[in-house]
């Protein structure tokens, strides 16, 4: 079992046949943020969406937690559902960062990386503020934090409020100390060559209204052959704001790399 975590991570699955596609969520959300992708991609893939420690219905984690520990725990969840499979990894924000750790943990089992809400920020200067907000406001901070993941236009919509309610209804299962511990793990510097080791097809889907949008170009340069698509008008959680376009970009990328079912022979 992964060190510093009190048991296996919670996950949901959808789809009965096809390749495996795994989803890793951003702060402060949980696996339900992939509801639109799970619903559509499960037509062709066996999908699994994972709750990170302290979120949704996953167990607590403790001091000493590392990103490598969480990556191992995510692979253990995938192994539980779909043992021995190569996997297309999809993530948002810290979930995108987790994908690189997961790839480097099992490069032979990583078919592709699809990242959103992400960029290259070596100082990670936003983390202390998040930690302080959680210490001051507790697990209830997730409500307001959810709206920060959306563009200004989307924040006012009933759908934004629906998702904020959905995530924070599960606060009873969450653990604020674990969330803080995970931020502390995220704050640690990556090892030398962390991004350069990625050796599979990769793409960044970035919302033009996301605060990380500008830094996404720097991340693209650090990953050999990494592609990019921009979702104009979307914020950090662009997979929620513009699911039709997000899913189309996913499908086009996978098709181009022979990873969409029935396209492998096209090369």
> What domain count does the chain have?
1
Q: Give me the residues of the chain with pLDDT under 70, please.
A: 264-267
Q: Which domain holds residue 149?
A: 11-266
In a domain, 223, yes or no: yes
5 lies in a domain?
Answer: no
pLDDT of residue 89: 99
Separation between Cα atoms, residue 245 and residue 217, nearest integer Å: 20
Establish if 156 belongs to a structural domain: yes
DSSP label of 24 = E
CA angle centred on 74, ends 175 and 118, rounded to 5°: 80
pTM score over 0.85: yes
- The first and second tokens of residue 103, run together, are 């790839």
**Is the residue at 81 inside a domain?**
yes
- Looking at residue 262, what is its pLDDT? 80
Which tens digit of pLDDT belongs to each residue from 184-220? 999 999 999 999 999 999 999 999 999 999 999 999 9
Q: Residue 8 has what pLDDT?
A: 98
Tell me the CATH number at 151. 3.40.50.1820
Domain assignment of residue 222, yes or no: yes
In angstroms and rounded to an integer, the radius of gyration of the C-alpha atoms of the chain is 17
In a domain, 1, yes or no: no
Residue 126 resides in a domain = yes
Q: How many CB atoms lie within 10 A of CB 129?
A: 9
Max CA-CA distance within the chain?
55
pLDDT of residue 265: 46
pLDDT in tens, 93-117: 999 999 999 999 999 999 999 999 9
Do the bridges between strand 11-14 and strand 46-50 make them parallel or antiparallel, or are there none, so unpaired?
Answer: antiparallel
In a domain, 201, yes or no: yes
């Amino acid at each position: 079992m992964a060190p510093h975590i009190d048991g296996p991570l919670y996950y949901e699955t959808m789809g009965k046949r096809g390749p495996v596609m795994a989803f890793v969520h951003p702060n402060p959300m949980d696996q339900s943020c992939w509801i639109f992708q799970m619903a559509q991609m499960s037509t062709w893939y066996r999908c699994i969406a994972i709750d990170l420690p302290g979120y949704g219905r996953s167990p607590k984690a403790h001091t000493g937690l590392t990103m490598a520990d969480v990556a191992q725990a995510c692979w253990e969840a995938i192994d539980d559902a779909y043992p021995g499979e190569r996997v297309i990894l999809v993530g948002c924000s810290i979930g995108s960062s987790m994908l690189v750790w997961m790839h480097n943990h099992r490069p032979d089992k990583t078919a592709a990386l699809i990242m959103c809400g992400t960029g290259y920020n070596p100082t990670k200067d936003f983390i202390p503020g998040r930690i302080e907000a959680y210490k001051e406001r507790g697990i209830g901070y997730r409500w307001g934090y959810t709206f920060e993941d959306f563009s200004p236009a989307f924040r006012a919509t009933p759908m934004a409020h629906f998702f904020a309610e959905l995530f924070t209804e599960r606060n009873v299962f969450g653990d604020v100390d674990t969330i803080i511990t995970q931020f502390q793990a995220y704050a640690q510097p990556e090892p030398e060559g962390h991004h350069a080791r990625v050796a599979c097809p990769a793409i960044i889907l970035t919302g033009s209204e996301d605060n990380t949008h500008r830094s996404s170009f720097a991340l693209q340069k650090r990953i050999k052959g990494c592609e990019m698509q921009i979702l104009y008008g979307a914020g950090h959680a662009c997979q929620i704001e513009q699911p039709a376009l997000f899913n189309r970009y996913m499908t086009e990328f996978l098709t181009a790399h022979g990873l969409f079912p029935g396209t492998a022979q096209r090369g």
